Chains A and B, each alone.
Chain A
């Protein structure tokens, strides 16, 4: 549970504004509970009653992601630190520490699983969706560079031999890298075939 404060004001609106000011946040990042509607009093006959609200900070999606991962690493007895970057569409979690090999796993299998589980935890609440990417000491970045090189090399081969090439099964994240690295290519196009987890990218002549 996040920070919670109670505020009073002449109206509910005023009380909420005072609380938001104190928390230094906006209406979208909090839950508002009205404890007392208050009333203004009529011509001073009935006494004024102040409105009272309780305003609670919502846990942000990146907080949720970081806390989940830290919890998991702790239970795995791994020493690792998590740094978070968040923007409109995605949350990037960078992991540093010892035991990096265990976190990555064979061909990035453990890393992909952690990423998938974190994404489920973060996006459990309906309404908003953010893509979750976990990177360990730039493993993803290096892997991305490798995939872009692979895509270009295979595209050249498709052009040369005029034959389709079907790639190995890849996860959605890696397929996206292949698609986007060839989307501006004048001679080839890409699409995916098969069902998860055996979905593969095909490179073909335009």
Chain B
């Protein structure tokens, strides 16, 4: 799941080397903390969060196979 989020984020941003994802495992859910370069924030959030929403939808779809809840958080 972590790799999927990294792949998507790296393809969208201008500074792929600065993309990092931290996994925080909970009991029933998995939290993925996404960090990107400051100038790239817009590239992963988008107008009215449209890009962030699309990223979350795809990551959630991947998680349905594992029956786990995934939360994607974009950190400053």
B15 to chain A, nearest CB (A): 13
Q: Are A105 and B12 in contact (CB under 8 A)?
A: no
Complex contact B54–A102 (CB within 8 A): no
Name the distance in Å between A6's Cβ and chain B's nearest Cβ.
28
A residues 157-206 with Cβ under 8 Å of B?
195-197
Interface membership of A1, Cβ < 8 A: no
Chain B residues with CB under 8 A of A124: 12
- Would you give the shortest CB distance from A170 to chain B, in whole angstroms? 15
Contact B64 A116 (CB under 8 A): no
* Cβ–Cβ contact B65 & A113, under 8 A: no
Number of interface residues of A (CB under 8 A): 24
Q: For residue B3, which residues in chain A have a CB less than 8 angstroms away from its CB?
A: 75
Task: Indicate if the CB atoms of A102 and B64 lie closer than 8 Å.
Answer: yes
A77, B8: Cβ atoms under 8 Å?
Answer: no
Complex partner residue of A110 from B4, B51, B57, CB under 8 angstroms: B57
Return chain A residues, CB-CB under 8 Å to B62: 75-78, 102
| CB nearest to A71 among chain B residues | B7
> Considering the complex, which residues of chain B in the window 38-72 have a beta carbon less than 8 Å from any beta carbon of chain A?
47-48, 50-51, 53-55, 57-58, 61-62, 64-65
- Residue A121, interface by CB 8 Å: yes
B11 within 8 A of A: yes
CA distance A169 to B54 in the complex (A): 17
Expressed in whole angstroms, the minimum distance between the Cβ of B65 and any Cβ of chain A is 7
Interface residues of A in 71-126 (CB under 8 A from B): 71-72, 75-78, 99, 102-103, 105, 109-110, 112-114, 116-117, 120-121, 124
Q: Which residues of A contact B (CB under 8 A)?
A: 68, 71-72, 75-78, 99, 102-103, 105, 109-110, 112-114, 116-117, 120-121, 124, 195-197
Please give the residue numbers on chain B whose beta carbons come within 8 Å of chain A beta carbons, in ascending order: 3-4, 7-8, 11-12, 47-48, 50-51, 53-55, 57-58, 61-62, 64-65
